[in-house]
Structure 1
Amino acid sequence: MTPPHGSVSASARPAVTDPIAATRPRNRKQLIVEAAGRVFSEHGYHTASMEKIAAGVGITAAALYRHFPNKYALFAECADLMADRLVTALDEVPPTADLPDVLSAVTRVSVAHRASGGVYRWEARYLNREDRRRLRAKFGRIVGRVDEAVQRAHPLPGERLRAAAALGAIGSIAMHHTSIAQRRAEELLSETALRVAATDPTAVRGDARPVELPAQPVPRTRRAEILAAAVPLFARDGFASVTNGQIAEAVGLAPSALYRHYSGKVDILAAACLQAAGLLAQGVDQSLHEVAGPHDAIVALAATYVAYSFEYTALNSVAEAELAGLPDGLRRSLVLAQREHIAVWEQQLRLARPELDPRQARVLVHAGFGVAVEAGRGLRWQDSRDHRDAVTALVVGSLGL
């Protein structure tokens, strides 16, 4: 067929190269997900923006929307990616592999992708029911595979508890910024996870003194009532998803009335984080009174942190998960309180284990926190003396005492 007058046939037309298409990497979607994981981990879900994520890839937000329709879709992809990496790493290990090989496979992936692993602080709050169900099934498969190796190596009571706790120790590397070489981090975390797996959950029973936590203040003012009502909502649905209307309804107020007591929702979150930090600091001060030495101090710190986590589960969950999303001015004092708490642990751990340098001790302290969180989740935070003692034993075991 003859082309219309003045036109040029496709075969005769000189090739035109789209400069954008020519420079666009073929793995752009993967690069976007990697950048998004880092932004979510660093800033929290509700303050992460598509603009921040796009800037991390070196593209515009408009270009980002060609791959993902919204922030939620991108977040769900981030959560899936890390789980898929762990599943793949374990699938590559023989079914009857020794426990060190199984844990090393998980550790390598977790350390290599440390910067984006923090998305799991928010997945339970921000994923919809179906996405959450699918992700939990993947993690159930991971825990099950690790538990098989744990039971072969150390057949002790506590179904899956030690496996979940060992994975908590490994995953803790995503929850802090301690600078440490990748190889050394892998060695430390693998050794820690192995100690957790070998720990008898009944080991600390009777060793730790009873923990006396400060009582959570009874809400006697409208401001305190608002805070008490907001915390379980933040814990269940996530700060970003909770509206002023929901909080107001929980205390029988009109939404506009909240502003007589708080300047905005973020100030309620800041108050919750401050309350959590204060309760934990008081508990630590009480637990360290008249301890006999660094070993007893570590046991007391572990028992206090575990008791606090069981007793104030919703408050602690909100403080841990949502701190990154606070504005700098509100976050500064809370970060300082968090560092002071960690410094107490670090000091006592280095007295008990003088071979550790400060960075190694800090990594281990965070690993202990990770053990407490995942073991507590594994027990569904059902509070009892036996559960508290079991988790405390696993935390103390993780620290190599």
Structure 2
Amino acid sequence: MTDRHGPVSASARSAVTAGPTAAVRPRNRKQLIVEAAGRVFSERGYHAASMEKIAAGVGITAAALYRHFPNKYALFAECADLMADRLVDALGEVPSGAPLAEVLTAVTRVTVAHRASGGVYRWEARYLNREDRRHLRAKFGHVVGRVDEAVQREYPLPDERLRAAAALGAIGSIAMHHTSIAQRRAEELLSASALRVAATDPAAARNTRAVELPAQPVPRTRRAEILAAAIPLFARDGFASVTNGQIAEAVGLAPSALYRHYQGKIDILAAACLQAAGLLAQGVEQSLHQVPGPRDAIIALAATYVAYSFEYTALNSVAEAELAGLPADMRRSLVLAQREHIAVWEQQLRLARPELDPRQARVLVHAGFGVAVEAGRGLRWQDSHGHRTAVTALVVGALGL
């Protein structure tokens, strides 16, 4: 080999060949892998994510990925840990006794900056082993505790961290949707929403009218019995972990008999998601009947969503957590139903708050959903009129009404 100045030695040839490869190989490759994995897990869920897809996000082969992580579970646990550690570290930089707004801003900044991978925590309860789950919950417990200290200092109420968890739910909601909005604007909207949640007295709405939801269909056929038996199994263990044998055993059938009623387990999941969407749509239709104005409409929507979340906790959990795992053709109609539901909220919220543009309204609607989920979890989904009205008040607070 020669160049225009003459012959090139073997050692020089080696340097020329190896140089570009060495230059582009980043020292922080493990961190890049975790970042890419967080995005894939958030988008697809634990079981639908593949090591090949994660490796492609970093520009390496799956074989190279295994040099850093022995299996997908180890990578998933690392992602979940990283999310919690970022929040703990951010709050560690906030002085003790700092104003609540400063505490919430620190959490919001980290959450929005890592929005694409923040959805990992949605899956952790199901797929982490007991020890990893315990460690992770301790970290999140520390975060809730720091927020609660600031909440109680500025707005003291005996609500056992309910407002702190709900405020964090408003902030964390940004990881659960794809609404395009500038990072700074998202931070401002979510910090303000969380601050309103923290300032809301959950006991102030005790006289809220009870919501009457459509009844979940009584299983009168074998097909309906199979669906009713599968939903709590999916909610408890996750769709991928439940076997046809478990579902069949729950209804007293042989596993092969399931195929007379459903082509496969995925069809049972699709039926569950369709049932969830149908019940919520019926509830919304009932709640908005003869509502006098947009503010009342938003309160009615919030009360309906909260009632639905408490009454159909297992069904809602399955529909929210497992939707991403459905094939595209099965998912399409469900995604459209979700968009229609959010559009109703968005329209009424913009009528009640004309200063909001569509994207801002959509972000706040999702913040309300996040409040309902985290406040419900904080109350262990123990259903009562008092719990429903308390959570409804927090959701309305998040929306700024």
TM-score (norm 2): 0.94
- Provide the rounded CA distance (Å) in 2 between the counterparts of 1:75 and 1:266: 24
* Code of the aligned partner of 1:272: A
1:83–1:138 Cα contact (<8 Å) kept: yes
2:210–2:385 Cα contact (<8 Å) kept: no
The structural deviation recorded for 1:23 is 3.4
Query: Which position in structure 1 is the counterpart of 2:4?
Result: none
Count of residue pairs the alignment pairs up: 388
The within-5 A match list for 1:304-315 is 304-315=304-315
Q: Which blocks of at least 5 consecutive residues in structure 1 are unaligned?
A: 1-12
Matched, 1:36 2:21: no
* Code of the aligned partner of 2:239: F
Query: Which position in structure 2 is the counterpart of 1:182?
Result: 183
The structural deviation recorded for 1:204 is 2.0
Query: After superposition, what is the alpha-carbon deviation per residue over 1:143-171, rounded to whole angstroms, capped at 9, x for unaligned?
Result: 00000000011112312000000000000
- Provide the rounded CA distance (Å) in 1 between the counterparts of 2:311 and 2:149: 31
Query: Which position in structure 1 is the counterpart of 2:7?
Result: none
* Code of the aligned partner of 1:341: H
Query: Which position in structure 2 is the counterpart of 1:337?
Result: 337
Query: Which position in structure 2 is the counterpart of 1:9?
Result: none
The within-5 A match list for 1:93-132 is 93-132=94-133
1:306–1:392 Cα contact (<8 Å) kept: yes
Query: Which position in structure 1 is the counterpart of 2:293?
Result: 293
- Provide the rounded CA distance (Å) in 2 between the counterparts of 1:21 and 1:254: 58
Query: After superposition, what is the alpha-carbon deviation per residue over 1:228-282, rounded to whole angstroms, capped at 9, x for unaligned?
Result: 1111111111111111111111112222211111111111111111000000000
Query: Which position in structure 2 is the counterpart of 1:167?
Result: 168
The structural deviation recorded for 1:306 is 0.4
1:157–1:200 Cα contact (<8 Å) kept: no
Query: After superposition, what is the alpha-carbon deviation per residue over 1:329-385, rounded to whole angstroms, capped at 9, x for unaligned?
Result: 000000000000001101110111011000000000000000000000000001111
The within-5 A match list for 1:1-400 is 23-206=24-207, 208-400=208-400
**Runs in 1 of length 4+ with deviation above 3 angstroms?**
13-23
* Code of the aligned partner of 2:192: E
SS at match of 2:279: helix
- Provide the rounded CA distance (Å) in 2 between the counterparts of 1:110 and 1:291: 36
The structural deviation recorded for 1:14 is 5.7
Q: Which blocks of at least 5 consecutive residues in structure 2 are unaligned?
A: 1-9
- Provide the rounded CA distance (Å) in 2 between the counterparts of 1:299 and 1:169: 17
- Provide the rounded CA distance (Å) in 1 between the counterparts of 2:204 and 2:46: 38
- Provide the rounded CA distance (Å) in 1 between the counterparts of 2:128 and 2:225: 28
The structural deviation recorded for 1:205 is 2.2
- Provide the rounded CA distance (Å) in 2 between the counterparts of 1:351 and 1:301: 14
SS at match of 2:47: coil
Query: Which position in structure 2 is the counterpart of 1:5?
Result: none
* Code of the aligned partner of 1:89: A
Identity of aligned residues (%): 88
- Provide the rounded CA distance (Å) in 2 between the counterparts of 1:210 and 1:236: 28
SS at match of 1:203: helix
Root-mean-square deviation (Å): 1.3
The structural deviation recorded for 1:71 is 1.4
- Provide the rounded CA distance (Å) in 2 between the counterparts of 1:320 and 1:125: 14
Query: Which position in structure 2 is the counterpart of 1:6?
Result: none
- Provide the rounded CA distance (Å) in 2 between the counterparts of 1:302 and 1:205: 14
TM-score (norm 1): 0.94
* Code of the aligned partner of 1:384: S
